[in-house]
């Protein structure tokens, strides 16, 4: 009996010793005892991050200003939405490789430090490692992305294929029941890689960016920040300057060496895409399949009409004005207009 009591006392003491020791740097003195030597502060390991001062603070305040932190759509915590809209949902599916979580995510949080980094897993600086930069098999047709760090973003910023999905080349009608039908709001990885459009006609190709901007999204969106408005962990591309929005070109200038020339190029590309979107919208509205607010008009329609709405929404929701992959966006719109005219 005495032995057992001793054991019961020793075990918790041992556990405590291990916990405290693990908070001290390896090889340092042990925990402070009555007559002992003071141990190293438990923050030695923690301090690698929590002591790094304003560099750490900068990331935190940039993230706080980002749409990831402020967008508010993280209450979309149902099984099918949680993988992209909640941090815990994302961390689950990155392990299971499923398209949905096993259950609704309780106490959801938006994409944050723990989502993209491996924070508080080893409590070492290695925890800054990105949670996953593995190629992402796109939900549209399983094509793998290959953009290094940008693969992380592609897990969420990709088309979530609608049901029903129009099939190219069939003459069958499809029935759409929801005005929210479409490729969903974040199709950027598909646009950047030139995948997932309802590809009528021929002649598809990609812009220079697709194969040559090696870290994809990260190269342009996490470039040197402009305060908390653009770049860095705000991940935005534009900031307000003298009353109008300008693109943060910090990630572009290693290739586009003349900033004024690039501004012109961005504007011309955007104008070209906007003009084609307007032209397609007029046609789709005349066909009675799209409303003024850019929603599909639910009903039974030919696959081609649904595909045309899908392509319109794809380019619209990409919101890069052609900067992601001008060649693909332009061809998709041109071919769609030609097919339905
Ligand atoms: C790899 C970097 C890193 C290391 C190492 C690290 N942390 Fe953190 N910690 C973070 C980040 C990032 C956050 C979230 C951002 C924030 O809240 O400021 C955080 C948040 C916290 C928080 C507030 C949120 C919470 O979970 O309660 C506490 C407390 C904390 N850490 C304690 C510690 C302690 C104690 C250690 C050492 C045993 C440690 N951290 C080691 C990066 C780190
Ligand atoms: C866990 C999924 C997830 C990951 C990973 C992710 N995002 Fe997001 N992102 C979102 C969601 C969801 C929103 C919209 C948030 C909201 O509205 O609540 C968003 C919003 C954004 C926005 C703002 C768009 C706007 O409406 O202004 C940008 C820019 C962005 N993300 C870029 C990135 C980049 C770059 C990466 C990779 C470094 C990345 N995201 C990784 C889910 C993710
Ligand atoms: C494959 C990832 C993914 C899935 C699955 C997903 N979303 Fe999203 N969703 C996003 C991203 C990324 C954005 C942000 C797009 C942006 O701001 O550019 C977004 C944006 C939104 C928005 C904001 C639209 C706006 O214009 O502000 C709503 C609402 C939304 N999603 C609802 C849902 C619902 C409901 C579900 C589940 C039925 C769902 N999402 C599933 C990735 C996803
Ligand atoms: C949507 C994904 C995403 C979120 C959310 C995010 N990060 Fe990051 N973070 C990245 C990416 C991608 C990089 C690499 C970019 C680079 O190297 O320029 C990075 C780099 C970093 C680095 C540099 C790491 C190194 O090895 O030098 C720090 C520090 C950092 N993030 C801190 C944070 C903190 C603190 C938060 C939360 C406030 C946070 N991050 C949230 C994606 C994210
Ligand atoms: C070649 C640089 C570049 C790359 C690579 C890139 N983007 Fe963009 N992105 C832009 C530009 C430029 C805009 C348009 C900014 C504007 O005019 O509003 C944009 C717009 C966006 C938007 C709309 C909201 C906003 O901030 O304007 C989102 C969301 C987005 N990109 C996400 C991504 C994701 C996710 C990836 C990777 C799959 C990616 N981008 C790759 C340059 C880039
Ligand atoms: C790795 C080099 C590289 C980076 C980084 C890069 N670009 Fe490009 N970009 C090119 C090349 C090369 C072309 C094709 C030749 C041309 O038009 O200058 C191009 C073309 C373009 C076009 C014309 C449309 C097209 O696709 O042909 C736009 C707009 C553009 N880039 C915007 C940007 C923006 C904005 C950024 C930064 C946010 C950026 N680029 C970053 C190399 C790059």
pLDDT band at 5 (very low <50, low <70, confident <90, very high): very low
- Cα 337 to ligand 2 centre (Å): 30
pLDDT band at 43 (very low <50, low <70, confident <90, very high): low
Residue minimizing CA distance to atom 3 of ligand 5: 220
pLDDT at 135 over 80: yes
Scanning the structure block, which residue is given the tokens 């003491």?
Answer: 13
Higher pLDDT, 227 or 5: 227
What pLDDT score does 31 carry?
Answer: 44
pLDDT band at 74 (very low <50, low <70, confident <90, very high): very high
Mean pLDDT of all residues in 238-253: 96
Ligand 1 neighbours (beta carbon < 6 A): 23, 45-46, 48-50, 60, 113, 119-120, 123-125, 127-128
pLDDT at 52 over 70: yes
Summarised one tens digit per residue, pLDDT across range 84-114 is 999 999 999 999 999 999 999 999 999 999 9
The CA distance from 262 to 250, in Å, is 12
The CA distance from 28 to 194, in Å, is 55
> Using CB atoms within 10 A of its CB, is residue 250 exposed (0-12), middle (13-18) or buried (19+)?
middle
Q: Which of 221, 251, 253, 268 to mutate to test the pocket of ligand 5 (most atoms within 8 A of CB)?
A: 221
The CA distance from 290 to 108, in Å, is 34
Among the atoms of ligand 3, which is closest to the Cα of residue 99? 5
Higher pLDDT, 282 or 11: 282
- Cα 216 to ligand 6 centre (Å): 12
| Percentage of the chain exceeding pLDDT 90 | 83
Summarised one tens digit per residue, pLDDT across range 256-305 is 999 999 999 999 999 999 999 999 999 999 999 999 999 999 999 999 99
pLDDT band at 28 (very low <50, low <70, confident <90, very high): very low
Among the atoms of ligand 6, which is closest to the Cα of residue 270? 29
């Amino acid at each position: 009996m005495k032995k057992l009591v001793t054991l019961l006392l020793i075990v918790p003491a041992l556990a405590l010793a291990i916990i405290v020791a693990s908070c001290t740097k390896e090889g340092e003195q042990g925990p402070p005892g009555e007559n002992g030597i003071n141990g190293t502060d438990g923050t030695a390991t923690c301090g690698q991050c929590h002591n790094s001062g304003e560099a750490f603070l900068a990331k935190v305040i940039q993230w706080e200003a980002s749409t990831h932190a402020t967008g508010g759509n993280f209450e979309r915590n149902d099984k099918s939405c949680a993988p992209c809209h909640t941090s815990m949902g994302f961390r689950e599916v990155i392990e299971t490789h499923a398209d949905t979580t096993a259950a609704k995510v309780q106490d959801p949080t938006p994409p944050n430090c723990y989502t993209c980094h491996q924070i508080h897993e080893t409590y070492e600086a290695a925890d800054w490692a990105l949670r996953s930069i593995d190629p992402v098999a796109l939900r549209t047709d399983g094509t793998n992305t290959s953009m290094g760090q940008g693969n992380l973003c592609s897990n969420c910023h990709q088309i979530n294929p609608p049901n029903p999905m129009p099939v190219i080349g069939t003459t069958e009608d499809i029935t759409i029941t929801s005005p929210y039908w479409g490729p969903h709001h974040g199709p950027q990885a598909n646009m950047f890689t030139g995948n997932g459009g309802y590809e009528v006609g021929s002649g598809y190709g990609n812009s220079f960016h697709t194969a040559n901007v090696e870290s994809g999204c990260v190269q342009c969106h996490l470039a040197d920040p402009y305060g908390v408005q653009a770049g860095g962990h705000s991940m935005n591309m534009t900031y307000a300057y003298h009353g109008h929005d300008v693109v943060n070109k910090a990630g572009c200038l290693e290739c586009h060496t003349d900033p004024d020339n690039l501004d012109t190029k961005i504007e011309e590309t955007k104008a070209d895409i906007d003009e084609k979107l307007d032209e397609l919208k007029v046609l789709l509205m005349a066909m009675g399949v799209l409303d003024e607010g850019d929603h599909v008009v639910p009903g039974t329609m030919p696959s081609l009409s649904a595909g045309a709405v899908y392509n319109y929404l794809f380019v619209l929701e990409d919101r890069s004005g052609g900067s992601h992959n001008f060649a693909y966006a332009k061809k998709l719109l041109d071919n769609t207009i030609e097919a339905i005219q």
